[in-house]
Amino acid sequence: MKNILLSISLVLITSTSYGQTLGGNYFLNFEDEIHLQCLRIDTIRYQNNLWQVGAPQKTIFTGASSPTRAIVTDTIHSYAINDTSVFIITNVAGFGFEVPHTVLLSAKYYVNSDTLSDYGAIEFSPDNGNSWIDLINDTMYASLIWWNGTKPTLTGNSNGWKYFYANMATLGPVFNIHHGDTVLYRFSFISDSIQTNKDGLMFDDFRFEDWAEDIEEIQKQNGITIYPNPASRVLKIHILNAPSKAKVQIINYTGQLLMDDFHFTGESIDVSALPNGIYFLRYIENENSYIKKIVVQKD
């Protein structure tokens, strides 16, 4: 298939300046200096920042996911009390947000903390840090963030490396994210006043994707065909090897969920009540989610 863009650019940010731009599907496993250019451990706002890149040598954290280095709340010592530690990964948006099509964040994490009040957080900024969305706990935009399986649980004991994966492409139209805009991912660990002598939190094997195919190919991808498009009254969905039931949602450009059918078994959707305009149809089957742009245009 022809890609408009199969690209995500990541930029080093230090406390005062940006570095060179990195392109392509991006994998960050903390093993080489070039790929670390996307990362900032903020030691100005958070002077006691615990995050360190290196080989973990702790009681529970004895190794990275692959091959030797990870980012850890201190590579040697237990995490400190009364602390908030933050690191930020910077991306330059591709067409995945703009279409929207595919904007993926995935990584592995390992947590060993006091379940009651020591925890991690993952946030997303669509506007270069002016505002932040809690990707795990937010309720306003939850319908626009698709998790492949269980959301990460960044507190307690994971008892090993765990994997998470999220597609947030539909946030693009809501926040007017265009190709070339700067977006940020912020990862935090917060501890209370009780010393538990636990290892904390670490991440490894980040992967970012931000891409889209052309609209005609989007309609045909993965054996899913949507027609007619534009539609005036009825939108038909043809799925190759269709499951017995699936979930279908329709979302408008402001992020409002207009339809949420958990038991979709047919091949048509009545769109006659929708005003003329552009919408996004999300089709979910098992652990796969596909987002399609649809147009309602009445005679």
| Pair 203, 235 in one domain | no
Does residue 112 or residue 264 have the better pLDDT? 112
Q: Whole domain around residue 138: which residue ranges? A: 3-213
Tell me which amino acid residue 37 is. Answer: Q
User: What is the percent of the chain with per-residue pLDDT over 90, rounded to a whole number?
Assistant: 46
Lowest mean pLDDT among 22-36, 194-208, 262-276: 22-36
Lowest mean pLDDT among 42-46, 216-220, 249-253: 216-220
Q: Identify whether residues 163 and 220 lie together within a single domain.
A: no
**CATH number of the domain to which 103 belongs:** 2.60.120.200
Question: Residue 206's closest CA among 145, 152, 139, 143?
Answer: 152
- Residue 27 CA to residue 10 CA, distance in Å, equals 10
Boundary of a domain, candidates 195, 213, 231: 213
pLDDT in tens, 27-76: 899 997 777 888 999 899 999 999 999 999 999 999 999 999 999 999 99
Please name the helix (run of DSSP H) or strand (run of DSSP E) that holds residue 216, with its range, or none.
helix 215-220
Last residue within a domain, chosen from 193, 213, 233: 213
Whole-angstrom Cα distance, residue 96 to residue 147?
16
- 238 CB neighbour count, 10 Å cutoff: 12
* pLDDT at residue 227, as a whole number: 86
In terms of Cα–Cα distance, which of 244, 275, 240, 278 is closest to 262?
Answer: 244
**pLDDT tops 80 at residue 268:** yes
**Average per-residue pLDDT in the chain?**
83
For residue 7, pLDDT beyond 50:
no
200 or 96: which leads in pLDDT: 200
Q: 172: which 2 tokens?
A: 């693009």
Looking at residue 223, what is its pLDDT? 64
| Residue 19 pLDDT exceeds 90 | no
Q: Which residues are CB-contacts of 159 (< 8 A; sequence separation ≥ 6)?
A: none
Give the Cβ contact number of residue 71 at 10 Å. Answer: 26
Residues 203 and 245 in one domain: no
CA–CA dist 204, 53 (Å, integer): 10
Model confidence pLDDT, tens digit, residues 112-152: 999 989 999 999 999 989 999 999 999 888 888 989 888 99
Could you give the percent of the chain with pLDDT greater than 70? 84
**Do both 197 and 221 map to the same domain?**
no
- From 162, 188, 213, the end of a domain falls on 213
